[in-house]
């Protein structure tokens, strides 16, 4: 009997460990290697390279039964004579009432295209900025496609970020016109490199604007997100794709990142390449955020609130 009990304990332990790490590093690496490859030529909005990225994202959504939110996955917009596309996937919530509330998870999949030539290379691959965030959204889409969600979830990838948040601004305005009931929005911006080991896994912009960090840490049962003074000093809250959603919906809409301008030397540089990324860190980030996001999506009440005093 003792042997049977011990065996059951070991099996349960292995099962628990498997549940703790549902996203594999090999998938994270494969997705990022494609999105930041030279063949996509830096993914500038309107370019053939970003069209390849859009098709890759659409294929990922389709193969994982993530539905288009609109008639197709694409939300098109114009920047003068350039046509850009946001890619919008949809997982309907399973609770008869809470499914009418939406959690929006997003990142930008565009980059600057080409940069100053270094050793004959002029392609700004944008591995950290923001193929890394795009890969996280794809990973969570795969995960939540197979797991219970009380609220509905939009998985959104934006172009036009590098041209002034144009894609996210267009989508936020469009969803506002549809009177979408947005509960929260999280934007993932540059998670390809870790911060100091003494620090939490990531930081959140607009920390004091809501209790989002507090609640996500509570759901994760760990301090994975903290305040970063530089984020407030640099006004990062208003400089990424969360901000148009905050402006349109006045709900908790914040960005989470592990890049702080001191731990990566290749921002908007042609050496922002796959070989500079820390895939162990990325995999850890994606997996440790899953219980936090699951708690947010499945909370029986609206627990994440704006701080109206900020």
Q: Is the pLDDT of residue 149 over 90?
A: yes
Q: Is the pLDDT of residue 2 over 50?
A: no
- Beta strand 225-226 with 202-204: parallel, antiparallel or unpaired? parallel
Q: Which of 176, 171, 145 is nearest to 157 (CA)?
A: 171
Q: Is the pLDDT of residue 238 over 50?
A: yes
Q: Which tens digits make up the pLDDT trace of 182-191?
A: 999 999 999 9
- In the chain, what are the helix, strand and coil shares in percent, each to the nearest 5? 45, 20, 35
Give the span between the Cα atoms of 295 and 232, in whole angstroms. 26
Q: Which two tokens stand for residue 151?
A: 């609220």
Of all residues in the chain, the percent with pLDDT exceeding 90 is: 89
The mean pLDDT value for 159-168 works out to: 98
DSSP-based three-state secondary structure for 54: helix
Contact status, residue 186 vs residue 104, Cβ threshold 8 Å? yes
Q: Is the pLDDT of residue 309 over 80?
A: no
Mean pLDDT, rounded, of the chain:
93
Q: Is the pLDDT of residue 130 over 70?
A: yes
Start-to-end CA span in the chain (Å): 60
Q: Which two tokens stand for residue 42?
A: 């830096």
pLDDT at 200: 86
Q: Which domains, from first to last, does the chain contain?
A: 41-298 (3.40.630.10)
Q: Which tens digits make up the pLDDT trace of 244-299?
A: 999 999 999 999 999 988 999 999 999 999 999 999 999 999 999 999 999 999 99
Contact status, residue 229 vs residue 266, Cβ threshold 8 Å? no
Nearest-10 Cα torsion for 302, 250, 253, 222:
-40
The residue that leads in pLDDT, 310 or 219, is: 219
Give, in order, the Cα–Cα distances in Å from 251 to each of 86, 90, 133. Answer: 21, 20, 21
Contact status, residue 137 vs residue 153, Cβ threshold 8 Å? no
The CA-CA-CA angle for residues 5, 8, 13, to 5°, reads 125
Give the span between the Cα atoms of 101 and 284, in whole angstroms. 28
Give the span between the Cα atoms of 242 and 172, in whole angstroms. 9
Q: Which tens digits make up the pLDDT trace of 198-210?
A: 678 999 999 999 9
Q: Where are the beta strands (DSSP E) in the chain?
A: 67-68, 74-79, 82-91, 102-108, 113-118, 121-124, 152-158, 182-188, 202-204, 225-226, 253-257
Q: Which tens digits make up the pLDDT trace of 167-187?
A: 999 999 999 999 999 999 999
Give, in order, the Cα–Cα distances in Å from 45 to each of 52, 85, 243. Answer: 11, 8, 20
Q: pTM of the prediction? A: 0.92
């Amino acid at each position: 009997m003792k042997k049977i009990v011990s065996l059951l304990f070991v099996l349960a332990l292995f099962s628990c460990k498997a549940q703790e790490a549902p996203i594999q590093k090999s998938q994270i690496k494969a997705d990022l290697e494609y999105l930041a490859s030279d063949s996509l030529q830096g993914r500038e909005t309107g370019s053939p390279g970003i069209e390849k990225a859009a098709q890759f994202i659409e294929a990922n959504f389709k193969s994982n039964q993530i539905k288009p939110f609109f008639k197709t996955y694409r939300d098109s917009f114009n920047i003068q004579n350039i046509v850009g596309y946001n890619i919008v996937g949809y997982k309907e919530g399973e609770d008869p009432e809470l499914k009418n509330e939406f959690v929006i998870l997003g990142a930008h999949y565009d980059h600057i295209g080409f940069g100053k030539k270094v050793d004959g290379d002029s392609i700004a691959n944008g591995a950290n900025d923001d193929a890394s965030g795009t890969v996280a959204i794809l990973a969570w889409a795969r995960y939540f496609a197979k797991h219970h969600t009380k609220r509905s979830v939009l998985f959104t990838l934006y172009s036009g970020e590098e041209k002034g948040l144009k894609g996210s601004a267009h989508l936020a305005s469009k969803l506002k016109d549809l009177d979408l009931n947005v509960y929260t929005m999280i934007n993932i911006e540059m998670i390809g490199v870790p911060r100091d080991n003494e620090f939490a896994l990531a930081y959140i912009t607009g920390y004091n604007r809501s209790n989002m960090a507090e609640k996500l840490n509570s759901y994760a049962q760990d301090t994975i997100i903290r305040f970063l003074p530089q984020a407030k000093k640099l006004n990062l809250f208003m400089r990424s794709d969360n901000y148009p959603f905050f402006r349109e919906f006045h709900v908790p809409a914040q960005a989470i990142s592990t890049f702080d301008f001191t731990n990566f030397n290749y921002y908007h540089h042609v050496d922002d390449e796959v070989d500079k990324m820390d895939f162990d860190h990325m995999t850890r980030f994606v997996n440790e955020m899953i219980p936090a996001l699951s708690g947010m999506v499945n909370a029986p009440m609206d627990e994440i609130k704006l701080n109206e005093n900020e």
